[in-house]
Structure 1
Amino acid sequence: LVDQLAEGGRIVIPVGDEFSQILVKGIKKDGILKIQTLEPVRFVKLVGAYGFKE
């Protein structure tokens, strides 16, 4: 993904296991991804008509 990111591009991803993650922001500058840790988060699967099939 880093190779596909344009110079000055940003990526925000949750990093961690199934139960707890940290939200991480990366900005590509001079070909290097600079990482900033934002805050704890938890990814919750979307369920229902438009969500994941259980």
Structure 2
Amino acid sequence: MRVRKELEKAERRATAQLMFDLGQKAYGRGMYGRAFEFLERALTIIPRPTLFGGEVG
């Protein structure tokens, strides 16, 4: 059971990292609306109180 929770946590973090990376790329290309969508999605996956969540927010 604990292993499953750790795998789910790692999967969520990987998805949030992907959304964050896509948001940064979109922002760099001037696609601000899309960047906002990606970054907002990353925040819904990883809450702000975490170190990564603070970086996204």
Same fold (TM over 0.5): no
Structure with the higher fraction of residues in helix conformation:
2
Q: Which has the larger radius of gyration?
A: 1
Structure with the higher fraction of residues in strand conformation:
1
TM-score tier, shorter chain, comes to under 0.3
